[in-house]
Amino acid sequence: MAALRAGLLGVGMMGRHHARVLRELDDVDLVAIADPAGDPHGVSGALDVLPDIDALIAAGIDMAVVAVPTRFHEQAALKLAAAGVHTLVEKPIADSVEAGQRMVDAFRDAGLVGAVGHIERFNPALQQLRRRLEAGELGAVYQIQTRRQGPFPSRIADVGVAKDLASHDVDLTAWVAQSDYAHVFAQTTFKSGREYEDMIAITGRLESGVIVNHLVNWLSPMKERVTVVTGEKGAFVADTSTGDLTFFANGTIPLEWESMATFRGVSEGNVTRYAFAKREPLRVEHEAFRDAVLGKPSDVVTMEQGQRTLVVVEAALESAREGETRTF
């Protein structure tokens, strides 16, 4: 079987990594790269840097990765769908719900694989976490909270922290819990002089009844990527920066501290840090996309799923503007 001919639109901060992984994949040949801004990181190698999406399509590609700013996703994706090219777009799917839905419709109607790069689903810590939750190791799940904060990335100019970062947390939370959002309430701040928010706090509840909290900002001097799932038997803590997963068990030994004798909550138990293989999430994501294109079983994040995440994020932003809870 001939290898899939892949094209890459955008070789900026994220696109350069896509180029590397595409070159490493079995059954895939990176045959074309396009970027109107050229090749700032020198990743094109022997390939000419094409000027636009039309030139990329003309190279005769089977599949494409779109890694350009969010506001350009729709235009590129619709052209690729019309040309019969399976496509993975970076998250978020689009800069508006309306644009995202047009993309969903185009790929569905064309019978093509349309995928969104919600890479956290492929993080080894979160994959381990989901499997352990499915196995009942936590018992009933009560709450999922995430913290995603760090300095402002100057490369992001067309969306705020909600679409750029909180979309990760919304997607991974629904995926880990296997439950959609029922309602959200949010607050935002604008501290960096831009038109878009640089901090958002989201609280809500999933359809399963699980309480969710997301704290996301570009205003912190420290970088943090943490997901905490609290339940009947303890709490899982996933650090997606390192790929580590730790379990804090509820204790079974009676407390001896006299002043705490009347407390009827949980107590501290054993702490377990799991050892497991940690494959690069971007490579696993690309393997899932390739397999979906080849018609094999795949965990690729579909455009429909990416659109659902965008709907929740947009609802959170509306909630922040209007001071009201949004229900789905």
Mean pLDDT of 218-235: 96
* Residues 167, 93: Cα–Cα separation, whole Å: 10
pLDDT 10s digits, 265-299: 677 889 999 999 999 999 999 999 999 999 999 99
**What is the band of 133 on the pLDDT scale with cuts at 50, 70, 90?**
very high
- Provide CB contacts within 8 A for 68, sequence distance 6+: 9, 10, 12, 15, 35, 76, 90
* Residues 35, 51: Cα–Cα separation, whole Å: 6
Q: Is the pLDDT of residue 259 over 60?
A: no
**In this structure, are residues 119 and 301 in contact, taking their beta carbons and an 8 Å threshold?**
no
**What is the band of 258 on the pLDDT scale with cuts at 50, 70, 90?**
low
**What is the band of 256 on the pLDDT scale with cuts at 50, 70, 90?**
low
**In this structure, are residues 161 and 217 in contact, taking their beta carbons and an 8 Å threshold?**
yes
**In this structure, are residues 230 and 136 in contact, taking their beta carbons and an 8 Å threshold?**
no
Q: How far is CA 156 from CA 47, 153, 159, 302, in A?
A: 27, 6, 7, 24
Q: Is the pLDDT of residue 253 over 70?
A: no
What does the H/E/C string look like for 167-231? HHHHHHHHHHHCCCEEEEEEEEECCCCCCCCCEEEEEEEECCCCEEEEEEECCCCCCEEEEEEEE
Q: What angle do CA 273, 276, 278 make, to 5 degrees?
A: 115
Q: What angle do CA 171, 173, 175 make, to 5 degrees?
A: 70
pLDDT 10s digits, 12-61: 989 999 999 999 999 999 999 999 999 999 999 999 999 999 999 999 99
**What is the band of 252 on the pLDDT scale with cuts at 50, 70, 90?**
low
Percent of the chain at pLDDT > 70 equals: 95
DSSP states along 39-82? -TT---TTS-EESSHHHHHHTT-SEEEE-S-GGGHHHHHHHHHH
* Residues 215, 199: Cα–Cα separation, whole Å: 8
Q: Which domains does the chain have, with CATH numbers?
A: 4-118+283-300 (3.40.50.720), 121-277+310-327 (3.30.360.10)
Mean pLDDT of 155-170: 90
pLDDT of residue 192: 86
Tokens for 183, please give them. Answer: 């309602």
Annotate 279-305 with b (16+ C-beta within 10 A) or e (fewer): ebbbbbbbbbbbbbbbeeebebbbbeb
* Residues 173, 229: Cα–Cα separation, whole Å: 9
pLDDT of residue 263: 52
